[in-house]
A and B are shown apart, each in its own frame.
Chain A
Amino acid sequence: MIKVKNLVKRYVNVNAVDNISFDVEENEIVGLLGPNGAGKTTTMRILTCFMPATAGSATVAGYDVFTDSLNVRQEIGYLPENVPLYLDMRAKEYLMFRAKLKNIPRRERRKKIEYCLEMTGITDVQNQIIGTLSKGYKQRVGLADTLVHDPKVLILDEPTIGLDPNQIRQIRGVIKGLGQKHTVLLSTHILPEVEMVCDRVMIINKGKIVAMDTPANLMRQLKTGSNLVLEIKGDGEKIKNSLSRVDTVQSVTYRKKDDANEFYINGNGEKDIREDVFNCIVKDNYILREMKRQTITLEEIFHQVTTKETEEETASA
């Protein structure tokens, strides 16, 4: 549905988007993840024909973004960051205006608008002036607008920013539902959102794609088996010494927790060290109350891939 090849957007002396390529398949929800200023919005603006790229090519729904702009725009629903709306119009009136702009035949307009109002849950406020609506409702009016012409591709820039947790949940539910009929490309810097909603994640930093995979695969790629958290009763210092003697253990730290100690153990290498650690504890007759593998979250992956880059850069400079 979306094909991007070697896309570059150059501002005066920075590459906001630096030679990125990716594909999005039909009915896939892809999350574009990155710190502020990573090039998410720029990428989206190029895909929605709001600004052209400096180099490279992009097609949306088979139409070229640069040469076939009007057709592309007919096929996409775009929700910009901060959801700009005409605050002086009523919600339904606004959707009617947008529906006309998006060339929906007169006969279908009412039905489509009704559907969008229902889908985004704003039927109750359809006759209110948009300026008087709360942020969450404005967001939904914006979302309803992106849906109104039943586009093949939805491009949503930070669709849940500034909402309260309940609203975030609802909007996420809506987006997830949309993924069955539409191709969705959404950007965010809220990580759990990506884990919950997206089929695929693309992490971009400084205009470059640094990782692209399913959330589960991304987590698997990074070492996870060898970090343990344990709760052991006994003399902390002694336990630390005996654990450190285990071959596969690289480092041990601990802190007092209630009447026991909480230990953090890093293994060396990929190998599962749980059995070695267990045997060691049993041999020395300590009481093991809890042992768990430390699961790495998307947050850490994000941190790793986005900071590794900067460290390398500072090292080379």
Chain B
Amino acid sequence: MRNVTTIFQREILSYFYSPIAYVVISVFLIASGFFFAGNLQFWQEASLKGSLDSIQFFLLLLTPVITMKLFADESKSGTMETLMTSPVTDFDVVFGKFLAALSLYTVMILPTWIYVLFLSIFGNPDFGPIFSSYIGLILMGGLFVSIGLLVSSLTKNQVVAAVIGIVALIILWVVGFLSTYGDGWFYESLRYIGTYDHWSSFTKGIVDTRDVIYYLSFTALLLFITVRNVESRKWR
């Protein structure tokens, strides 16, 4: 666990040494501010539901940018070799990087609480759905980050990692919509796999254990695959 902390600290530092953290956070805040204002004007109601749905789309685009460098950069610069020949397990490395990216993600969405502040000053928002939405956002962040992390471990090229990550997340999002086209086990499983359906119940103020388990288990599975993939240099 100490190694996880060490890796985590380095990754966090490295985010703020490079422009990535600043660029991603600023882009996200500009976009989300714009959509918050737009939604507020349109619906005229003290809730975050509309804005968070639009914001979620930007998370699809920006999370892979956060995760793109995590493994791709290490493979490219060769630091993978120094890292993996120090006394750390593959899991330590993967989990440390995961936590670092998830923390940056959290730092990125935290300032949106200022919207909640506005709402409570000028209106009377229902805090239940707002809290549950943020729980959902964090859980969804874990899933998005673990997808980005896996993709990053598959390539040496950061741009490739970002693009494939974004495409993967968009597919994961859209797959849920496809489920409305039919019935039966196939469409039912599409609905389950798709992330939108699970997310939307959080915005309604429902913290359903089924959705929590969906996010946690999916994240764990992806982290497991990533660890295996990092290990795979040993048997390839």
Contacts and interface: CB of A to CB of B under 8 A. Distances in A.
Nearest to A47: B85
A101 B79 CA distance: 14
Closest 6 CB pairs of A and B: A84-B78, A88-B17, A73-B87, A84-B79, A100-B6, A48-B85
Given A51-B233, A84-B81, A101 B88 contact: yes
A88 B81 CA distance: 17
Contacts, number: 67
B55 to A, nearest CB: 30
Contact of A52 (B17, B85, B88, B235): B235
B41 interface: no
A101 B3 contact: yes
A80 B14 contact: no
B44 interface: no
Given A52-B234, A100-B6, A82 B87 contact: no
Contacts of A49: 85
Interface in A70-107: 70-71, 73-74, 76, 78, 80, 82, 84-89, 93, 97-98, 100-103
Contacts of B89: 70
Given A50-B85, A70-B89, A88-B17, 9 more contacts: A50-B233, A51-B233, A78-B82, A84-B77, A85-B82, A86-B10, A98-B82, A100-B2, A103-B2
B87 A50 contact: no
A88 B79 contact: no
Contacts of B9: 97
Given A49-B85, A102-B87, A89 B78 contact: no
18 contacts: A45-B81, A49-B85, A50-B84, A50-B85, A52-B235, A70-B89, A74-B87, A80-B81, A84-B82, A85-B79, A86-B79, A87-B77, A89-B13, A89-B17, A98-B82, A101-B87, A102-B86, A145-B82
Contacts of B84: 50
Contacts of B235: 52
Interface string B205-236: 00000000000000000000000000001110
B90 to A, nearest CB: 10
Contact of B81 (A50, A89, A98, A102): A50
Chain A: number of interface residues, binned into ranges? 20 to 34
Interface string B6-22: 11011001100110000
Contact of A103 (B81, B82, B87): B87
Interface string A177-212: 000000000000000000000000000000000000
B18 A73 contact: no
Contact of B86 (A86, A87, A89, A101): A101
Contacts of A76: 85
Nearest to B86: A101
A193 to B, nearest CB: 22
B6 A101 contact: yes
A93 B17 CA distance: 13
A93 B79 CA distance: 16
A244 to B, nearest CB: 58
B213 to A, nearest CB: 33
A88 B13 CA distance: 9
B82 to A, nearest CB: 6
A88 B233 CA distance: 26
Contacts of A80: 78, 81-82, 85
A145 B234 CA distance: 24
A97 B10 contact: yes
Interface string A17-53: 0000000000000000000000000000100111110
- Best-surrounded residue of A49, A51, A86, A145 (most CB of chain B within 10 A): A86
A82 B65 CA distance: 28
Nearest to A73: B87
Interface in B1-54: 2-3, 6-7, 9-10, 13-14, 17-18
A34 to B, nearest CB: 20
Given A84-B79, A86-B10, A101-B3, A70 B87 contact: yes
